[in-house]
């Protein structure tokens, strides 16, 4: 709506309503990401949250139009059409994660990637495509824009308070709690419930889109890594039995070890990677040929759990293909050592934070 007013000199300036003057929400935001901590720690300067076993996403509502984008800007609504009515306030951008939970209320990446996604590309649905799980739910843990105004330069504590004050919790949108100071007992409780890990965030941290910052630190219950899948060792009866894994050092793909493939995933992984078969090894270092070895073009990102060594996988286990993975992220992470203060409380408060944060409480 426009209003014309006449000035004493006869000029006719045009005034814009405030709502029209607000800029459209940005469409190129990339999520801020954590670096790796060597161990869990306690710190009065940090808040601690659950680490979610799902797909990172930004949810925004711009003049009545919902957008749900992955960390590369791709549209996620075809994956989770149930979230088409997500109650995001107009002019808001929420940072969070899409999760599907198992029967015990725990987020499960396998259940999420088992869902059918027509626009996913060459990779087929995950091995649990027949299991629906509980959800999907968008878990919102940060508020980047409110009423079309950026909050990126505001401290995390303020953004969290504003997010909670929106009152937008629903069956499809969860706003988890956080724990102050006590990261060590929090990780212990998270491990007890069989969850992925925790994220430590400085209370005063600003939001830097696309950055991997030490202001945020992730702590896994079981060490895990994103790797490039460069080949498989296969058995005629079981399918894939070993995954050959690489990480980039500069522009060079280095072999970092192999991961055991559980029997229930072997046949599925064999079929899922057939279109990526290559004639030669993608690794910079020569590997001895073995019976059943099949090379792959370096286009697939996999999640593996391992024993925790830096730059070399030991006792590794293939867990899943990362459908939202990026090859450039498959690099050795140098863990950051953090000093730890004494814990201020026992396990009761961390346990309540876990129970109140999960979209579906453990049964």
Give whole-number Cα distances, 241 to 185, 266, 277, 288, in Å.
Answer: 36, 6, 16, 17
How far apart CA 243 and CA 343 sit, in angstroms, is 40
Phi-psi region of 44 (alpha: psi -120 to 50; beta: other; left: phi over 0): alpha
Alpha-carbon dihedral sign for residues 135, 141, 142, 146: positive
Q: Which of 51, 128, 201, 218 is catalytic?
A: 51
Determine the 3-state secondary structure of 35 from DSSP: strand
Rg (CA), the chain: 23
Q: Where are the alpha helices (DSSP H) in the chain?
A: 18-21, 109-113, 156-165, 183-192, 263-272, 348-357
Hey, what are 292's tokens? 């059943």
Determine the 3-state secondary structure of 15 from DSSP: strand
| CB neighbourhood size of 65 (10 A) | 9
51 catalytic? Reply is: yes
Give whole-number Cα distances, 281 to 23, 40, 230, 253, 292, in Å.
Answer: 50, 38, 7, 10, 14
Active site (catalytic) residues: 51
């Amino acid at each position: 709506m426009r209003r014309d007013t006449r000035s004493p000199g006869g000029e006719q300036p045009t005034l814009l309503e405030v709502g029209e003057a607000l800029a459209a929400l940005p469409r190129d935001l990339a999520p801020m990401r954590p670096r790796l901590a060597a161990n869990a720690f306690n710190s009065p300067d940090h808040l601690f949250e659950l680490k979610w076993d799902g797909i990172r996403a930004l949810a925004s509502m711009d003049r009545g139009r919902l957008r749900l984008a992955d960390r590369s800007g791709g549209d996620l609504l075809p994956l989770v059409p149930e979230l088409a009515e997500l109650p995001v306030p107009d002019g808001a951008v929420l940072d969070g994660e899409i999760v599907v939970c198992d029967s015990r209320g725990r987020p499960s990446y396998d259940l999420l990637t088992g869902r059918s996604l027509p626009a996913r590309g060459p990779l087929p649905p995950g091995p649990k495509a027949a299991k629906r799980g509980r959800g999907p739910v968008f878990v919102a843990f940060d508020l980047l824009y409110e009423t079309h105004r950026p909050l990126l330069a505001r401290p995390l504590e303020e953004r969290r308070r504003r997010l909670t004050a929106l009152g937008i919790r629903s069956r499809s949108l969860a706003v988890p709690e956080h724990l102050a100071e006590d990261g060590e007992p929090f990780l212990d409780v998270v491990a007890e419930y069989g969850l992925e890990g925790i994220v430590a965030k400085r209370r005063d941290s600003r939001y830097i889109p696309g950055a991997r910052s030490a202001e945020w630190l992730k702590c896994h219950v079981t060490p895990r890594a994103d790797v490039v899948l460069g080949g498989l060792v296969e058995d005629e009866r079981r399918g894939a039995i070993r995954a050959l894994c690489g990480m980039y050092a500069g522009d060079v793909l280095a072999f970092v070890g192999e991961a055991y493939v559980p029997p229930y995933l072997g046949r599925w992984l064999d079929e899922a990677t057939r279109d990526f078969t290559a004639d030669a090894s993608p690794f910079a270092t020569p590997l001895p040929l073995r019976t059943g070895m099949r090379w792959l073009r370096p286009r697939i990102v996999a999640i593996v759990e391992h024993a925790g060594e830096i730059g070399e996988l030991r006792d590794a286990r293939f867990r899943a293909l990362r459908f939202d993975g990026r090859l450039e992220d498959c690099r050795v992470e140098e863990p950051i050592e953090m000093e730890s203060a004494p814990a201020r409380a026992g396990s009761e408060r961390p346990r309540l934070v876990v129970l109140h944060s999960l979209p579906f409480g453990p049964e």
